[in-house]
Structure 1
Amino acid sequence: MSEPPADPFEPTPLHSLIFHHPLKLFLYHAYHFLTSLRSDPPRADIPVRVVCISDTHNNIPEDVPHGDILVHAGDMTNGGSIAEIQAQVDWLSSLPHKEIIVISGNHDTYLDPRTRPSLPEEERTGSVDWKRVHYLQHRRLSLTFTAPQPESERARLTAPRQRRVTVYGAPQIPACGPMSVHAFQYERGKDAWSETVPEDTDILITHTPAKYHRDLALPYGMGCEHLAAEVKRVKPALHIFGHVHWGAGQEVVWWDRCHEAFVDGMQITSWFGGLFNPRLWWGIVQVTYRGLRELIWDRVWGGHSPHTRLVNAAQMYGNTGRLGNRIQVVDI
């Protein structure tokens, strides 16, 4: 097994993956190629547009798209002082979206009482005025949206159709820095997630990714395996996160046996990428076979497995210190 990169938040070079993890590299791309061929998940009768951002680190993105809900998935700031957080809240609350939701990230130091003492006294004295922003810290929020009514329905005084959307937000992440400075951390490998997310959650907001999805999955993944299990248990329509800047983008996870085979294969850490490990070869066979079966079931028979759209909404372009990633917009 090769040594992990000096900075786990930087992508492993392709030549290193080819040399050290060739089968895992093939497994990863085979899975994503097959799932990319599947049709888009069906939309609800009353769609809700969610605009997703994260990891702005004191910056203000330009041209934020319109939507019903704006979500910021943490790391609003760099230093985490009250003044830095308030500046981001002031900007967010000025946007025209009907609902604005925020969770904390590990850089938002003031918001975690355990890391607050690391700030100079003048940077942690006072409180944040959240204005019209919903701040979720292990908290559930229920929102109601009304479908637009045609003129003919309004003339008949027909009751408007409504849709309720349940949102849950939690900030904790696997440790990536000093516990006294980085907010809401837990020791990597510890289970901080099981049975914590309400089962009726439609939109889950976390700062960390789930393992092997939009988290620099190759070769080892920077996300949390226990969060991945919790997302699979709850199966929200949408999971929004950030933290791993190079993972920005979105994908749909279908909770089927193809995905199970993918995760089983990604967990293998044998010498030389498992080149001589029959389990990893079998994983490639299983992903290919099951992926093709699911693709035929989808495209020919119109079948759909339970699914979740995963969105890494990081705005910071890698670790360059500047914004550059596209703002993600999802209709659920």
Structure 2
Amino acid sequence: MEPHTSSSSIKTRFLVLSDTHGHDLPDYSTYRADVAIHCGDLTTGSKLEEFKSALKTLQTLNAPLKLVIAGNHDFTMDIPMFRKKVAEVTPPLEPALVKKEYGDYGEVRELFNETCQSGIVFLNEGTHRFTLQNGARLKIYASPYTPSLSDWGFQYHPETGHTFDLEKDTDIVITHGPPRGIMDTTYSGGRAGCPRLFEAIARVRPRMHCFGHIHEGWGAKLLGWRRKISENPSHFTDVDNGRSTVIGKLSQIKPNTQIIETSHCRGDQDPLEAGTQTLFVNAALEGTDDCPIHPLWQIDLDLPRAG
């Protein structure tokens, strides 16, 4: 892929996936990108062998930089929760059995450190900056946290909420779960997204926000923002529906589709206007019996030139 460049920006390709849950996936190595992003839930039961399998899959992705966050199923990476789960089991588990199945506390993070030469970077919550091989600058905010009443990893009570400290000029936000009201509808018809995450995104308006978690919400939408964001952002007051476009949704997937390609650079049909639009992507790969594996997303965006 030859990047399109101008004096101020560089066309950059992303491969985005989430919720692989240890599944055997298609061979995506023919699709080259500048950055691959995994939005969490690499595993189903957070077992050591599942992480090793997921890392092998990540190593096959054809991108020099592969950014990864955890999801609620990856609870052994949330060490306080991992300790809590082990302590609550009755009768007590044998330490040797825990180590065999799940690894020592912190062992999974060490596995990621060992794969850094493959371009795999595990992101803790917060802001991260990269200079890409294509010459672009990338500012990322990452967070694995999702609202829930259950007892998995990286979760918080919906009524308590969570603080998402996004900085201005953030290019891309990677979270495990969706914001409220955007590709977060569950099979039961309820909304599972986080209102505080939506508010944080509305205030910063990144170029792209990618996530997973709600498998049935797979899809993408280019959303327009109103010129002035209100003090307490909401869909009613701050979304410009006239400048919003659905890029893809679950009902549109054709059988045996492996990848969905979309480009929002200068000259494209739907160019993204930085600062006034955000591309939202639910990239959950795990599907249903009708569609066991959802397509991978391939996305082209203009990024600022480094330096």
Give TM-score, length-normalised by structure 1.
0.65
Q: State yes or no: 1:56 paired with 2:56.
A: no
Matches within 5 A, 1:212-291: 212-216=181-185, 220-256=190-226, 263-264=235-236, 291=241
Q: State yes or no: 1:121 paired with 2:98.
A: yes
Match of 1:39 in 2: none
**Would the aligned equivalents of 1:81 and 1:109 in 2 still touch at CA under 8 Å?**
no
Cα distance per residue 1:48-100 (max 9 Å; x no partner): 11100000111132132321111110111010122211221132123331100
Matches within 5 A, 1:74-93: 74-93=40-59
SS at match of 2:132: strand
Unpaired segments ≥5 residues, structure 1: 1-43, 148-161, 266-285, 296-301
Deviation at 1:249, TM superposition (A): 1.0
Match of 1:311 in 2: 281
Deviation at 1:303, TM superposition (A): 11
Aligned pair partner of 1:95 in 61, 79, 103: 61
Aligned pair partner of 1:208 in 155, 177, 190: 177
**C-alpha distance in 1 between matches for 2:194 and 2:130:** 28
> Which structure is richer in relative contact order (CA contacts within 8 A, separation 6 or more)?
1
Deviation at 1:323, TM superposition (A): 3.4
* CA spacing shift, 1:240–1:220, aligned 2, 3 Å: same
How many percent of aligned residue pairs carry the same amino acid?
27
* CA spacing shift, 1:294–1:74, aligned 2, 3 Å: closer
**Would the aligned equivalents of 1:59 and 1:323 in 2 still touch at CA under 8 Å?**
no
Deviation at 1:193, TM superposition (A): 2.5
Deviation at 1:236, TM superposition (A): 1.1
**C-alpha distance in 1 between matches for 2:298 and 2:279:** 11
Q: Which has the larger radius of gyration?
A: 1
Match of 1:330 in 2: 299
**Structure with greater strand percent:** 2
CA-based RMSD of the aligned residues comes to 3.2
**Would the aligned equivalents of 1:51 and 1:71 in 2 still touch at CA under 8 Å?**
yes
Match of 2:142 in 1: 169
Match of 2:125 in 1: 138
**C-alpha distance in 2 between matches for 1:115 and 1:244:** 22
Give TM-score, length-normalised by structure 2.
0.70
**C-alpha distance in 2 between matches for 1:172 and 1:80:** 16
Q: State yes or no: 1:104 paired with 2:76.
A: no
**Would the aligned equivalents of 1:50 and 1:330 in 2 still touch at CA under 8 Å?**
yes
Match of 2:94 in 1: none
* CA spacing shift, 1:170–1:325, aligned 2, 3 Å: same
SS at match of 1:191: coil
* CA spacing shift, 1:294–1:263, aligned 2, 3 Å: closer
* CA spacing shift, 1:219–1:113, aligned 2, 3 Å: same
**Would the aligned equivalents of 2:222 and 2:244 in 1 still touch at CA under 8 Å?**
no
SS at match of 1:92: helix
Provide the aligned length of Structure 1 versus Structure 2. 242
**Would the aligned equivalents of 2:66 and 2:121 in 1 still touch at CA under 8 Å?**
yes
SS at match of 1:48: strand
Deviation at 1:186, TM superposition (A): 0.3
SS at match of 1:205: strand
Unpaired segments ≥5 residues, structure 2: 1-7, 87-96, 246-270, 302-307
**C-alpha distance in 1 between matches for 2:195 and 2:64:** 34
Cα distance per residue 1:109-163 (max 9 Å; x no partner): 210012213355222333121112111121332222354xxxxxxxxxxxxxx32
**Mean CA deviation greater in 212-221 or 128-137:** 212-221
